[in-house]
Amino acid sequence: MDNQRPPMEGEPRRRPTGYLFPAWTNKIATAALTGILVMGGVVTFVVWYYFSPKHTDVGYQPVQPVPYSHKLHAGDLGIDCRYCHTNVEKSAHATVPPTQTCMNCHVTIKKDSAALLPVRESFAKNIPVEWVKVHKIPDFAYFDHSRHVVRGVGCVECHGRVDQMEVVRQVQPLSMSWCLDCHRDPAPHLRPKEESVTQMDWKAPSDAASFGQDLVQKYNIHPPTDCSGCHR
């Protein structure tokens, strides 16, 4: 209080009383706030992008117990999907075929192939082949293949070009929002009943959206968007 004059030459500069922190500390608050915002943004982005089914599930391609090639069977040989997935038009499950279906051909074709050993074993011992599930939806969601296939939604819409896959992988996120995208606007994903749903390279003759719109009218398609449509 008594010291009102400015400091003299050579006199040490005196710290003003009442300031405990050095001046650079003034920047901490701004830096921290910016940091938190940036970090928050990064975390949000990481979770939003990397935790989403689009990132975690798409591309899932597990190793199967039998090196079965969809490309060979469905693509090159042109066997219809429904030769093996027999119940796809009747049941909720498309059903992975029983070993018997494999053996229909493989009793004569490649009957000594080493790759087919698990299949022959399964058939002889009457034990199932333990295929690894690729397309998974949660237990509380009840997806029904038959409802979709019979109404003109092609296999390719959800499963992609399986006829070109050596080993099957997931190509769509199969998340709820992805399902709802189509349920809210089914037109671009429909094809006429006369056309085969299993044809992988089917293209709408005109613009898919407007072509599908006619089918929506014609087939009276109202996909449910209620929770109870899929959850029960």
Partner 1 sequence: MSPVNKSEHGLSRRNYWRSLEQLENSPEFQRWAQAEFPEGLSEVISPVTRRSFLSLMGASMALAGLSGCIRRPEEHILPYSKAPEDIIPGIPNFYATAYPHSGFGVGVVVESHEGRPTKIEGNPQHPFSLGATDVFTQASVLNLYDPDRLTSYVSGGQAITRSAFVDQLRSKVSELKTRQGAGLRFLSGLSTSPTLEALSAQLSQSLPQAVWHTYEPVSLENAVAGGHLAFGQAVIPTYQLDKADVILALDCDFMGTEPGSVLYGRQWSRRRGNDGASTPTNRLYAVEGIFSITGAMADHRLRLPSSHVDGFIRALGAQLSSQGLSLPSELQMALEPHRTHPFDARWVSALSAELLAARGKSVIMVGSAQPASVHALAHALNASLENVGQSVQYSPAPIGVASVANPDTGLTGLVAALRQNQVETLVILGGNPGYDAPADLELATLIKNVPTSIRLGSHQDETALACKLVVPQSHYLEMWSDVRALDGTASIVQPLIEPLYDSMSELELLSHFVDGASNRGYELVRAQWQTALGTLDFEKRWRRMLHEGVIADVAAPPVQVVLNGASIGAGLAQKEMPQLSLQNLELRFVTDARVFDGRFANNGWLQELPDPMTKLTWDNAALISPRTARELAVKRGDMVSLKYRDRTLEMPVWPMPGMADYVVAVSLGYGRTHSGRIGTGTGFNAYLLRDSSAPYFDAGLVSTRTGGTHLLATSQEHGSMENRPLVLEATVDEYQKNPRFAQEAVEHPPLRSVFTEHEYVGQQWGMTINLNVCTGCSTCVVACQAENNIPVVGKERVLRGREMHWIRIDRYFAGDEETAEAVQQPMMCQQCQNAPCEPVCPVAATVHSRDGGLNDMVYNRCIGTRYCSNNCPFKVRRFNFFNYHEDFTEIEKMQQNPDVTVRMRGVMEKCTYCLQRINSARRQMKLSGAARIPDGTITPACAQACPVDAIVFGDVNDPESRVSRLKARDMNYALLAELNVKPRTSYLARLRNPNPELG
Question: Rule CB under 8 A: which residues touch partner 1?
Answer: 56-57, 60, 62, 87, 89-93, 95-100, 122-123, 125-133, 136, 138-140, 142, 144, 146-147, 150-151, 220, 224-229, 231-232
Distance CA 12, CA 65 (A): 83
Distance CA 119, CA 112 (A): 11
Sequence-distant (≥ 6) Cβ neighbours of residue 189 within 8 angstroms:
153, 154, 157, 182, 212
Quote the least distance from Cβ 216 to partner 1, whole Å.
14
For residues 17 and 220, which CB has a smaller minimum distance to partner 1 in the complex?
Answer: 220
For residues 11 and 139, which CB has a smaller minimum distance to partner 1 in the complex?
Answer: 139
Quote the least distance from Cβ 126 to partner 1, whole Å.
5
Residue matched to tokens 């074993």 = 121
Q: Which residues pair with 153 in a beta bridge?
A: 190
Quote the least distance from Cβ 93 to partner 1, whole Å.
4
For residues 156 and 230, which CB has a smaller minimum distance to partner 1 in the complex?
Answer: 230
Alpha helices in 51-98 (DSSP H): 53-56, 70, 81-84
For residues 30 and 228, which CB has a smaller minimum distance to partner 1 in the complex?
Answer: 228
- Phi, psi (5° rounding) for residue 107? -70, -25
Quote the least distance from Cβ 219 to partner 1, whole Å.
8
Give the distance, in angstroms, between the CA of residue 73 and the centroid of all CA atoms in the same chain: 24
For residues 34 and 56, which CB has a smaller minimum distance to partner 1 in the complex?
Answer: 56
Distance CA 62, CA 170 (A): 10
C-alpha distances out from residue 182 to 148, 150, 211, 223, Å: 11, 16, 15, 9
Buried/exposed code over 74-88 (b: 16+ C-beta within 10 A; e: otherwise): bbeeebebbebbeeb
Quote the least distance from Cβ 41 to partner 1, whole Å.
23
Quote the least distance from Cβ 201 to partner 1, whole Å.
26
For residues 10 and 182, which CB has a smaller minimum distance to partner 1 in the complex?
Answer: 182
Packing angle of the helix pair 99-106, 117-125 (nearest 10 deg): 120
For residues 40 and 224, which CB has a smaller minimum distance to partner 1 in the complex?
Answer: 224
Quote the least distance from Cβ 198 to partner 1, whole Å.
17
